[in-house]
């Protein structure tokens, strides 16, 4: 009984291969909103982190973000990058039929245990925030123990 297949069921399913995927792709495209309506509030920003002997290097993709909308802080080895945006479409006149205002904020925190907060440098250029964080110089904490 387990091997029974309804008549012509297999032939009709083979003809529809890919059609459902196509409709699912269209649903995903149109439900996410138009590209002009998508903003940072829908996503989080991408971050790349590199390390070498001298320090850490963080690159965060922040397209369209202005310097005034950024906030960086370093607390106990934790680098926090925060973005707070207020978007509005101002046209100066009062005769509009449709107007949208939006506020979005997000943040990413990265733990860098041996980071030296006093030497952190950040630069925002072409939609990419580059942060360089030097490592703390490790002190020799070895102590000789006398055996009795």
pLDDT at residue 40 above 90? no
The encoded tokens of residue 117 equal 């907060």
**pLDDT over 50 (residue 39):** no
User: Positive or negative, the Cα torsion across 78, 67, 87, 28?
Assistant: negative
The dihedral region occupied by 76, where left means phi > 0, alpha psi between -120 and 50, and beta the remainder, is left
Is pLDDT above 90 for 102?
Answer: no
State how far the Cα of 106 lies from the Cα of 98, in Å rounded to an integer.
27
Give mean pLDDT, residues 41-52: 82
Closest residue by Cα to residue 134 from 121, 148, 116, 146? 116
pLDDT tens profile 18-27? 566 666 666 6
What sign results for the dihedral spanned by CA atoms 59, 61, 62, 66?
Answer: positive
Query: Mean pLDDT across the chain, nearest whole number?
Result: 77
Residue 99 has pLDDT above 80, yes or no: no
Give percent of the chain above pLDDT 90: 41
* In the predicted structure, residue 32 carries a pLDDT above the cut 70: no
pLDDT digits (tens, 9 = 90+) for 72-96: 999 999 999 999 887 665 555 567 6
User: Which residues lie closer than 8 Å to 79 by C-beta, 6 or more apart?
Assistant: 58, 72, 73, 109, 110, 112, 115, 120, 131, 133
Across residues 97-112, what is the average pLDDT?
A: 80
Residue 57, pLDDT above cutoff 90 = yes
CATH architecture classification, 36-89+99-134? Sandwich (2.60)
Contact by Cβ (8 Å): 40, 65: yes
Q: How many CA atoms lie within 13 A of 134 on its CB side?
A: 9
* Calpha distance 40→43 (Å, rounded): 5
Residue 38 has what pLDDT? 46
CA distance 123 to 32: 32
* Per-residue confidence band for 36, with pLDDT thresholds at 50, 70 and 90: very low
The confidence score (pLDDT) of residue 138 equals 80
Mean pLDDT of 131-135: 95
């Amino acid at each position: 009984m387990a091997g029974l297949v309804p008549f012509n069921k297999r032939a009709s399913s083979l003809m529809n291969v890919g059609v459902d995927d196509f409709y699912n792709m269209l649903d995903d495209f149109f439900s996410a909103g138009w590209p002009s309506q998508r903003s940072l509030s829908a996503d989080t920003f991408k971050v790349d982190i590199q390390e070498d002997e001298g320090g850490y290097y963080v690159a965060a993709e922040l397209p369209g973000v202005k310097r005034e909308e950024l906030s960086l802080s370093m607390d106990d080895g934790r680098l926090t990058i925060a973005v707070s945006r207020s978007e509005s479409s101002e046209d100066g006149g009062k005769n509009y039929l449709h107007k949208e205002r939006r506020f979005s904020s997000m943040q990413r925190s990265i733990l860098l245990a041996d980071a030296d907060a006093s030497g952190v440098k950040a630069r925002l250029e072409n939609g990419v925030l580059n942060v360089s964080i030097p490592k703390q110089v490790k002190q020799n904490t070895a102590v000789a123990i006398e055996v009795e």
